[in-house]
């Protein structure tokens, strides 16, 4: 079973890129972020016609996440628990194909310090609490998404250039480590070492120069990690016309 995560940076602007990727790669489960539309604007029929079931948690203009699955989807939870006043659509959790998955669009947090950085850290504290709850069920779980955290300097083409960015701050990194230290596996780290980027800025020819960072992650519960067969980062969609600034990150789980 192939599970992929991809920040598409607007599902409507990216529809040709996303549908050709689905046709080529054929993920069983796709975890999407930054769909940038309300549910009514989501091009559902394009995915249903390809055999996917959907859960969409949209928002006007910003954020928004979705799960596509070739299996029936149960137990869908839209919105990260822990703050009833939080209007931002950044989290869906659901059970499908015998695994639990989450699609996560963690707040960027820039500029920092500031209100946006405080929101990011508060959101991460809620994610820590939710992860602890889900892990207590001892299921195979894949928490995938745009975490907006560069885990270590080796995940960044130029750590000095990102030293003041919210994505590298000790407060962001330590919260990600708290999640990993609960026993989750960073899937890409299993069979790759060194820089392995998932995002390249649109500006200043970052893609052409491979000035990338690794911020899109698949974090696996022990029961999911035991089934891990292979992982990868598919650079092909980033090289095409009108690309997202992120590219898909995937893992394959066996029986």
Partner DNA sequence: ATGGTTGTGTTACAA
CB of 244 to DNA, least distance (A): 8
DSSP percent split of the chain into helix, strand, coil, nearest 5 = 30, 25, 40
We find the least distance from the C-beta atom of residue 243 to DNA, in angstroms, to be 8
- Taking the C-alpha atoms of 41, 69, 5 and 254 in order, what is their torsion angle to the nearest 10 degrees? 180
Assign 7 to helix, strand or coil. strand
Can you say whether the dihedral through the CA atoms of 127, 7, 218, 103 is positive or negative? positive
Q: Of 108 and 223, which CB lies nearer to DNA in the complex structure?
A: 108
Cis peptide before 46 (omega within 30 of 0): no
168 near DNA (CB under 7 A): no
The SS3 call for residue 28 is: coil
Pairing of strands 2-7, 29-33: parallel
Give dist(CA 30, CA 130) in Å, integer.
Answer: 21
CB of 132 to DNA, least distance (A): 25
Based on the shown chain and the rule CB under 7 A, indicate whether residue 62 belongs to the binding site for DNA: yes
Contact by Cβ (8 Å): 42, 140: no
Q: Which is nearer to DNA, 19 or 108 (CB)?
A: 108
Name the one range near DNA by CB under 7 A: 7-15, 70-78, 91-99, 175-183.
Answer: 7-15
Q: Rounded distance, CA 132 to CA 159, Å?
A: 30
- The verdict on 61 binding DNA (CB under 7 A) reads yes
Does 204 help bind DNA (rule: CB under 7 A)? yes
Query: Looking at beta carbons only, is 41 or 81 nearer to DNA?
Result: 41
Work out whether 45 is an interface residue with DNA (CB under 7 A): no
The values of phi and psi at residue 246, to 5°, are: -110, 160
Site residues for DNA, 90-149, by CB under 7 A, read 107-108, 110, 116
Total count of residues recorded for the chain: 255
How many residues bind DNA (CB under 7 A)? The answer is 19
36 binds DNA (CB under 7 A): yes
- Give the residue, chosen from 60, 132, 192, 240, that forms a contact with DNA under the rule CB under 7 A: 60
- Does 9 sit near DNA (CB under 7 A)? yes
Interface with DNA (CB under 7 A), residue from 153, 183, 202, 229: 202
Binding residues vs DNA (CB under 7 A): 9-10, 12-14, 36-37, 60-63, 107-108, 110, 116, 202-204, 242
């Amino acid at each position: 079973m192939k599970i992929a995560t991809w920040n598409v940076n607007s599902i409507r602007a990216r529809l040709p890129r996303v549908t050709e990727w689905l046709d080529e790669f054929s993920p069983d489960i796709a975890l999407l972020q930054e769909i940038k539309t309300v549910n009514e604007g989501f091009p559902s029929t394009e995915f249903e016609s390809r055999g996917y079931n959907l859960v969409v948690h949209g928002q006007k203009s910003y954020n928004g996440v979705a799960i596509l699955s070739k299996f029936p989807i149960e137990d869908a939870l839209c919105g990260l628990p822990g703050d009833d006043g939080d209007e931002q659509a950044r989290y869906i959790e659901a059970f499908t194909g015998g695994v639990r998955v989450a699609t996560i669009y963690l707040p960027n947090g820039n500029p920092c310090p500031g209100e946006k950085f405080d929101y990011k850290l508060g959101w991460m504290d809620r994610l820590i609490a939710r992860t602890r709850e889900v892990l207590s069920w001892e299921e195979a779980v894949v928490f995938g998404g745009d975490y907006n955290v560069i885990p270590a300097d080796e995940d960044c083409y130029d750590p000095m250039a990102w030293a003041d960015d919210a994505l590298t701050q000790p407060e962001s990194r330590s919260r990600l480590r708290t999640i990993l230290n609960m026993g989750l596996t960073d899937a890409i780290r299993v069979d790759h070492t060194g820089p392995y980027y998932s995002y390249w800025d649109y500006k200043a020819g970052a893609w052409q120069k491979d000035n990338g960072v690794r911020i899109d992650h698949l974090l696996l519960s022990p029961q999911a990690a035991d089934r891990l067969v292979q992982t990868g980062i598919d650079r092909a969609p980033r090289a095409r016309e009108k690309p997202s600034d992120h590219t898909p990150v995937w893992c394959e789980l066996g029986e």
